[in-house]
């Protein structure tokens, strides 16, 4: 009996000990929680932060983008200075320049080059090598003689014919885009061929231009020997039509294109000419042009030569014709001679000039692919 009492007494003591441990443990935990709450309420744990020392400059960078979007004209002086700064960044910090250029290529308009350069300058403006380079280049820029306000680097674009031609081409934008879509060709490629032919006509028939074409700004349509606004010969047009349906031809574009020039009458020759010389609707002139470009590209591709990245060669081949298209490792730009303001150009070079000039880029933008197969 005594042993039982002794055992019970021991358990009772152990239970009391556990109780006290738990009691004081919870009490301490409660005090810790209350203490932490008090510290938080007093704000002893808060990091209030501070205004960035460059806050005003950062705001100015954002304002640059807003002002550039609002502006309807290009500040050429500011643009020149931006390129000077970018060249300095490229020389001293090539990785940053690479990222700026890549962003410009891929951006959808959310940021512009001026903002990205200004953001980079937050760090590089303290580099003596950078500031010295920019200062020297700005001095060179300031000492250079300013060009006339509207002077174009491409000489033949400094003519009244070109200004009138641009207006006339834009009027045909919808037709050009439609023809480009059905032929699988970038619209700008078709326009380049159009310009070569129209510039040739404007300068070979200058008096006609002054009397009729210049004032009303319309495209010249040929109706003898060559036809339409792009000067396509009747036998070339017939060759295009045959190529569309002949799947054994090296010029064959593919099944999806076989019916884009189907005739509505049995008199194909008359219908063909009527299509091309329609003074009000130049759609078929552009379709034949797109086909010639696409078919020639296919011919060279099948021979093992990709000339899709050589627009000047395609323009030359458009001008000289299928019979002179001979795939080779060393194609050459050329074609008909075109004299503008006493300077001689070739058809291919005129097309090349326009294609890479940036002119009419809003109406006929550069696309990722020049041909859709």
Question: Is residue 148 scored above 90 in pLDDT?
Answer: no
How many whole angstroms separate alpha carbon 116 and alpha carbon 120?
A: 6
More confident site: 223 or 298: 298
Residue 107: per-residue pLDDT: 64
How many CB atoms neighbour CB 41 within 10 A? 9
Residue 238: per-residue pLDDT: 97
How many whole angstroms separate alpha carbon 197 and alpha carbon 318?
A: 11
The two three-digit tokens of residue 74, written as one number:
């290009």
More confident site: 196 or 27: 196
How many whole angstroms separate alpha carbon 210 and alpha carbon 241?
A: 36
Residue 114: per-residue pLDDT: 84
CA-wise closest residue to 332 among 350, 317, 354, 353:
317
More confident site: 353 or 10: 353
Question: Is residue 367 scored above 50 in pLDDT?
Answer: yes
Residues 272, 287 contacting (CB under 8 angstroms): no
More confident site: 225 or 238: 238
Average pLDDT over residues 348-357: 95
Which residues, in sequence order, are CB contacts of 57 under 8 Å at separation 6+?
Answer: 122
Question: Is residue 334 scored above 90 in pLDDT?
Answer: yes
The two three-digit tokens of residue 282, written as one number:
């130049």
More confident site: 224 or 136: 136
Question: Is residue 8 scored above 50 in pLDDT?
Answer: no
How many whole angstroms separate alpha carbon 84 and alpha carbon 61?
A: 18
Question: Is residue 214 scored above 80 in pLDDT?
Answer: no
How many CB atoms neighbour CB 181 within 10 A? 12
How many whole angstroms separate alpha carbon 12 and alpha carbon 26?
A: 21
The two three-digit tokens of residue 128, written as one number:
């003596």
How many whole angstroms separate alpha carbon 348 and alpha carbon 337?
A: 9
More confident site: 79 or 302: 302
Highest mean pLDDT (candidates 35-44, 66-75, 148-157): 148-157
- 64-95 pLDDT, tens digit per residue, is 766 766 776 777 788 888 889 999 999 999 99
Given pLDDT bands bounded at 50, 70 and 90, which one contains residue 202?
confident
**Count of residues in the chain:** 373
Phi, psi (rounded to 5 degrees) for 187: -55, -35
CA-wise closest residue to 282 among 137, 183, 172:
172
CA 82 to chain centre: 20
Residue 25: per-residue pLDDT: 59
Residues 340, 154 contacting (CB under 8 angstroms): no
Residues 154, 123 contacting (CB under 8 angstroms): no
């Amino acid at each position: 009996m005594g042993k039982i009492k002794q055992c019970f007494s021991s358990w009772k003591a152990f239970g009391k000990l556990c109780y006290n441990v738990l009691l004081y443990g919870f009490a301490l935990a409660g005090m810790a929680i209350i203490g932490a709450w008090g510290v938080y309420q007093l704000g002893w744990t808060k990091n209030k932060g501070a205004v960035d020392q460059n806050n005003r400059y950062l705001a100015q960078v954002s304002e640059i983008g807003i002002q550039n979007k609002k502006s309807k004209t290009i500040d050429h002086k500011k643009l020149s200075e931006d390129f000077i700064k970018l060249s300095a960044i490229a020389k001293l910090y090539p990785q940053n320049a690479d990222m700026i250029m890549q962003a410009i290529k891929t951006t959808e308009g959310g940021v512009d080059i001026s903002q990205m350069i200004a953001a980079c300058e937050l760090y590089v403006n303290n580099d003596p090598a950078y500031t010295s380079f920019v200062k020297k280049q700005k001095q060179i820029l300031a000492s250079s003689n300013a060009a006339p306000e509207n002077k174009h680097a491409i000489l033949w674009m400094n003519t009244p014919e070109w200004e009138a031609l641009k207006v006339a081409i834009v009027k045909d934008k919808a037709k050009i885009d439609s023809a480009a879509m059905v032929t699988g060709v970038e619209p700008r490629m078709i326009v380049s061929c159009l310009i070569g032919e129209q510039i040739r006509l404007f300068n070979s028939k200058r008096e006609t231009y002054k009397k009729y074409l210049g004032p009303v700004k319309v495209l010249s349509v040929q109706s003898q020997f060559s036809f339409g606004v792009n000067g396509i010969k009747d036998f070339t047009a017939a060759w295009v039509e045959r190529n569309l349906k002949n799947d054994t031809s090296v010029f064959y574009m593919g099944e999806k294109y076989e019916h884009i020039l189907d005739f509505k009458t049995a008199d194909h020759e008359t219908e063909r000419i009527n299509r091309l010389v329609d003074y009000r609707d130049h759609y078929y002139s552009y379709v034949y042009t797109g086909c010639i470009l696409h078919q020639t590209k296919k011919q060279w591709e099948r021979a093992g030569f990709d000339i899709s990245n050589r627009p000047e060669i395609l323009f030359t081949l458009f001008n000289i014709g299928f019979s002179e298209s001979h795939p080779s490792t060393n194609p050459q730009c050329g074609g008909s001679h075109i004299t503008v303001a006493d300077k001689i150009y070739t058809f291919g070079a005129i097309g090349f000039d326009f294609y890479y000039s940036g002119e009419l880029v809003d109406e006929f933008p550069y696309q990722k692919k020049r041909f859709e197969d």
